[in-house]
Amino acid sequence: MKFKHLRADRMADMSVNAIREILKVVSQPGVVSLAGGIPSPDSFPLDIIKQLCQEVIQKYGPAAFQYDTTEGFEPLRQALADHLNTNKAFDLHPEQVFISSGSQGALDAVGKVLISKGDLIGVEAPTYLGALQAFDPYEPVYINLETDAHGLVPESLEKTLQKLALKFIYLVPNFQNPTGRTLSRSRREEVAHILTRHDALLIEDDPYGDLRYDGDFIVSVKSLAPDHVVYIGTLSKIFSPGLRVGFYVPPFDLQDWLVIVKQGVDLHTSTFNQALAAEYLLGGHLKKILPSILALYKPKKDAMLAALDEYFPDKFTWTRPEGGMFLWVEGPTGYDGDALYNRAIQNNVAYVPGKYFFADGQSGQETMRLNFTMADEATIERAIKTLAGIL
Amino acid sequence: MKFKHLRADRMADMSVNAIREILKVVSQPGVVSLAGGIPSPDSFPLDIIKQLCQEVIQKYGPAAFQYDTTEGFEPLRQALADHLNTNKAFDLHPEQVFISSGSQGALDAVGKVLISKGDLIGVEAPTYLGALQAFDPYEPVYINLETDAHGLVPESLEKTLQKLALKFIYLVPNFQNPTGRTLSRSRREEVAHILTRHDALLIEDDPYGDLRYDGDFIVSVKSLAPDHVVYIGTLSKIFSPGLRVGFYVPPFDLQDWLVIVKQGVDLHTSTFNQALAAEYLLGGHLKKILPSILALYKPKKDAMLAALDEYFPDKFTWTRPEGGMFLWVEGPTGYDGDALYNRAIQNNVAYVPGKYFFADGQSGQETMRLNFTMADEATIERAIKTLAGIL
């Protein structure tokens, strides 16, 4: 049977995630991968999870394995509200927190509820590829917003909103993927004002906010303009990505719509995994584990920065993130990133060419995203030295 | 902030699941619910799950908690292929089996890949509401196919395909939700021939196939026309619905597209839950547990049929399913189902009015869906007696 004629119109421009294809290639033995975007397996608290499994079965019984509401498992919504209020300067009731199947699930729901074909979405350039993958099936048009070392340039957002009706703006304000950049406090206030003035909606994606190794906590844009922001978070980086537990805090009037579309997609997120996450938070385990995760990643980040400082040529620049999992290298304009990538792979070092993170599909030829969470410090230094040798 | 103007066009006709709203009302204390569509909590093998948690952590270590491929956890794909080949007369390689977040996830992916606005989808009348909820956001038009006591009438499919280009046909051939009806073996062969002759695509949804209490196994339509059927299954009824592990077996040419859209929706299904499901199958636990699930449900079904035979008036008819979770009652034409439902609720007995299962939103006023998996036999008898008293 032939199927091409059966495909929906929306599939015409869709293709496999290029990064995913890269990751398949570089998972071969002997390749040092700075390409991944995944937490270190050393960060998973296996002993605690083992214990939590028993506790959840004991405490919740069959309810942990039954169908549950689309909104989310009540004890987890309660635990997350407490966590966000205590540690992130939120002021939430549990019924304002909704559970999604990873933060990806929240991005899909946002796209489904809001994007009609041709709608304009404001994005950073570069931006997180997974968000584009969630939005693409709903056929938006991306509008690049200007960014610099401190993240989104607020004037660029202001000017764009004066000219164009954006359906929403998508930002990763903390330790952005791919650049590692963080939107400064003063810019967050400016962005909040702009959103309110233009009655515009922001999707604030915060997967890395907990992974801060240096500097001080910065309040979310959501806290500054609660009615104009869908805040999205996840437990993937501070508990386990394989459990697929994310969450979102939408403005009141969007709550029902987001729940309706999630219901059609997966009915609800795994009850058992939500119960594990609830007990992880309620039992005080995150508070004990997070410092060890930070202690695992900070030396890796510092090792990568030290190696870049020592080995990389002057005409290259890179970000100095205070947290997260990535840093971003820019070469001189006109630099042939593809040639570099191919030579790097030949020398058994992999990373993700930065061009894949631009919604326009053409910028970023001279850029690269380097991940520092997977390899150990010595390997990171060796890999950076190898890359520098090629440059 | 106002959001109504921001909503995507596709949201205009979407509303909350009516059944879900009914279930909220009837979960009040004192109400005997024949309304639910969920497995009995007594069917969940808690002791085995407790043991499997330890085994999975021991066997797979951090890999059970890491990101995994969108296609699915390899050991589970292998275990499911073995299960389907051994018990369901399939002939599959593991790489033909893909994992979804519940069968709902597979339905959403099918809708996203195939349905453009206005596309025609052939459905049974009545049909499974959750499938409509998965497809609705992609804005299809439903074409009702004729059914009788043996399920879909093949001539109705033949005639429809002669007149109309259906994007696909959606069927639940085993113990259908809501009617409990099963498509006979000879009709499956006819349907397979019709699909092949018209080069048409069938979505064969089989959540209840394992729950057979009487009669003999009937081969899937997928086995009879492999290249023209997406077969969808789930572990929700024979392991745990709260783990959200489903699976699908698509024709080869649809595999990549279904994986691409799933990637945008949730990246992948929970690795840990897939590992639990894999060990449940590999350890031979399903083989031991399934007979006890059947032994739990069969007396409930028989009790409901006996009570209907004893108490219900002659002008009502009902199905006599050989498996599944539901049976279907039809009153005389013109019967006022809403009045009956309201009086039933006043008498503390709940069920789902059958009208909700018709895609046209107007048929089935005189019908009701009765679930027999949740209450015990004595309660079922009392509830049916109460309903009969109202009729």
The residue of B23, B42, B53 whose CB has the most chain A CBs within 10 angstroms, and thus the best one to mutate to test that interface, is: B53
Confidence of residue B34 (pLDDT cuts 50, 70, 90): very high
Which residue, A223, A253, A284, sits at the end of a domain? A284
- Nearest-CA residue of chain A relative to B245? A270
- Whether residue A213 is contained in a domain is answered as yes
Q: What is the pLDDT of residue B336?
A: 85
Confidence of residue A25 (pLDDT cuts 50, 70, 90): low
Confidence of residue B25 (pLDDT cuts 50, 70, 90): low
- Nearest-CA residue of chain A relative to B267? A104
Burial class (CB in 10 A: 0-12, 13-18, 19+), A51: middle
For residues B276 and B57, give the distance between their C-alpha atoms in angstroms, rounded to a whole number: 10
- Whether residue A312 is contained in a domain is answered as yes
DSSP A323: B
Average pLDDT over residues B73-87: 98
Mean pLDDT over all residues of chain A? Answer: 94
Q: What is the pLDDT of residue B247?
A: 98
Q: Do B65 and A6 touch (CB under 8 A)?
A: no
Contacts of B153 (CB under 8 A, 6+ apart): B145, B146, B147
Residue A379 tokens, joined: 């390997």
Give the CATH number for residue A306: 3.90.1150.10
The residue of A196, A240, A265, A371 whose CB has the most chain B CBs within 10 angstroms, and thus the best one to mutate to test that interface, is: A265
The residue of A53, A177, A199, A239 whose CB has the most chain B CBs within 10 angstroms, and thus the best one to mutate to test that interface, is: A53
- Nearest-CA residue of chain B relative to A112? B8
The answer on A168 and A301 residing in a single domain is no
pLDDT at B1 over 90: no
Which of A87-101, A129-143, A275-289, B332-346 is the least confident region? B332-346
Q: What is the pLDDT of residue A89?
A: 95
Average pLDDT over residues A214-232: 98
- Whether residue A362 is contained in a domain is answered as yes
Nearest to B204 by CA among B165, B256, B169: B169
Confidence of residue B210 (pLDDT cuts 50, 70, 90): very high
The answer on A261 and A347 residing in a single domain is no
- Letter for the amino acid at A335? Y
Q: Do A244 and B268 touch (CB under 8 A)?
A: yes
- Whether residue A33 is contained in a domain is answered as yes
The answer on A97 and A25 residing in a single domain is no
Confidence of residue A360 (pLDDT cuts 50, 70, 90): confident
pLDDT at A27 over 70: no
The answer on A262 and A114 residing in a single domain is yes
Q: What is the pLDDT of residue A362?
A: 83
pLDDT at A36 over 90: no
pLDDT at B228 over 80: yes
The answer on A306 and A261 residing in a single domain is no
Residue with tokens 């369901």: B88
| pLDDT, tens only, A253-273 | 999 999 999 999 999 999 999
Please tell me whether the peptide bond between A126 and the residue prior to it is cis, using omega within 30 degrees of 0: yes
| pLDDT, tens only, B118-139 | 999 999 999 999 999 999 999 9
Using a CB–CB cutoff of 8 Å, tell me whether A373 touches chain B. no
- Whether residue A49 is contained in a domain is answered as no
The answer on A225 and A315 residing in a single domain is no
Which of the two residues, A217 and B3, has the higher pLDDT score?
A217
Domain that holds residue A332: 4-44+287-390
For residues B159 and B144, give the distance between their C-alpha atoms in angstroms, rounded to a whole number: 12
Confidence of residue B102 (pLDDT cuts 50, 70, 90): very high
Would you give the distance in Å from CA B343 to the centre of its chain? 29
Report the SS3 class of residue A330.
Answer: strand
Sort out which chain B residues have CB atoms less than 8 A from A7's CB and list them. 113-114, 257
Confidence of residue B31 (pLDDT cuts 50, 70, 90): confident
Q: Are A204 and A250 in contact (CB under 8 A)?
A: no
Number of H helices, E strands in chain A: 13, 15
Nearest to B6 among A41, A114, A130 (CB): A114
- Whether residue A295 is contained in a domain is answered as yes
The answer on B25 and B98 residing in a single domain is no
pLDDT at B383 over 90: yes
The partner residues of B246 in beta bridges, in order of sequence, read: B100, B234
Beta pairing, strands B317-318 & B326-330: antiparallel
The answer on A204 and A255 residing in a single domain is yes
Q: What is the pLDDT of residue A28?
A: 72
pLDDT at B199 over 70: yes
Residues 5-64 of chain A whose Cβ lies under 8 A from any Cβ of chain B: 6-11, 14-17, 20, 38-39, 41-42, 44, 46, 49-50, 53-54, 57, 61-64
pTM, two decimals, is 0.96
Average pLDDT over residues B96-121: 97
The answer on A122 and A15 residing in a single domain is no
Which residue, B284, B303, B322, sits at the end of a domain? B284
Give the CATH number for residue A212: 3.40.640.10
Average pLDDT over residues B15-44: 79
The answer on A279 and A302 residing in a single domain is no
Using a CB–CB cutoff of 8 Å, tell me whether B296 touches chain A. no
Using a CB–CB cutoff of 8 Å, tell me whether B230 touches chain A. no
pLDDT at B148 over 70: yes
Q: Do B8 and A116 touch (CB under 8 A)?
A: yes
The answer on A217 and A128 residing in a single domain is yes
| pLDDT, tens only, A52-97 | 999 999 999 999 999 999 999 999 999 999 999 999 999 999 999 9
Nearest to B250 by CA among B233, B273, B269, B271: B233
pLDDT at B163 over 90: yes
The answer on A245 and A193 residing in a single domain is yes
Which of the two residues, A38 and B82, has the higher pLDDT score?
B82
- Whether residue A51 is contained in a domain is answered as no
Average pLDDT over residues B218-244: 97
Percentage of chain A lying above the pLDDT 70 cut: 97
pLDDT at A162 over 70: yes
How many domains is chain B built from? Answer: 2
Interface predicted TM-score (ipTM) of this complex, two decimals:
0.96
Using a CB–CB cutoff of 8 Å, tell me whether A287 touches chain B. no
Confidence of residue A385 (pLDDT cuts 50, 70, 90): very high
- Whether residue A57 is contained in a domain is answered as no
Sequential DSSP letters for B107-159 = HHHHHHHHPPTT-EEEEESS--HHHHHHHGGG--EEEEEPEETTEE-HHHHHH
Which residue, B253, B284, B315, sits at the end of a domain? B284
Burial B52-76 (b: 16+ CB within 10 A, else e): bbeebbeebebbbbbbbbbbbbebb
